[in-house]
Amino acid sequence: MSLPIVEKQQVLMAPSILAADFSSLGTDIVDVEKAGADMLHIDVMDGHFVPNISLGPPIIESIRKTSSLLFDVHLMISHPLDYVESFKQAGADHITFHLEAESDVNKTLDKIRSCGCSTGLSLKPATPAESLKPYLEELDMILVMTVEPGFGGQSFMHPMLEKIQTLREMIDSSEKQILLEVDGGINAETAQLVKEAGANVFVAGTSVFRAEDMSLAIEQMKS
């Protein structure tokens, strides 16, 4: 499954299963798909690159049976190159990894592409937007962390808006179809800010999966 083409002003929602109820994960995923999610954001953490451990390929393989959504897999791990094939086999459609990880960036991008997935690079808050310039031609999506990666439920970091604007300018100058995704503290209020800055894919965990009305929460962020 390929990343969708996004028209100007269009917004895609990628709810993060990190905030789902893991005792009923399959049900939550079905519900969020019905509520209007465009893709499913799956955070993978190794306890080394970030101070938390989440899930691995077996979980992705199990939930792949429950959903037809595009699986947007975000590898917050030290050695992404070593695991690309495992996540593809488990059901990943898109794989994003961190510029700050220890694997060679070009080799990892090549591996993701050769496995049939679309490619993404993510930046921690302290990493400047310009760091991505050498890799723009190889990217299908850029993910800006608007919190420190590792734990859900953190507050949005407003200084990241300038980084989003810079990346939007870089993407527009490249004339490539590159999605600009944001992750961290996204709700109806901050969604408006990041949209104005140029983002078009919103990752939201708590504000979707723990909302009283998932459909309304997604609709408010999209609008």
Q: Both tokens of residue 174?
A: 């490249």
**What is the DSSP annotation of 86-123?**
HHHHHT-SEEEEETTSSS-HHHHHHHHHHTT-EEEEEE
What is the dihedral angle through the alpha carbons of 56, 87, 62, 206, rounded to the nearest 10 degrees? 60
Q: Which residues are designated catalytic? A: 43, 183
Distance CA 96, CA 190 (A): 22
> Within 13 Å, how many C-alpha atoms sit on residue 58's CB side?
2
Sheet holding 70-76, edge to edge: 12-15, 201-204, 179-183, 141-145, 118-123, 94-98, 70-76, 39-45
Question: In this structure, what token pair is assigned to residue 197?
Answer: 């800055």
* Angular region, 125: left φ>0, alpha ψ -120 to 50, beta rest: alpha
Q: In a 3-state reduction of DSSP, which class is residue 183? A: strand
Query: Which pair of tokens denotes residue 30?
Result: 């079905």
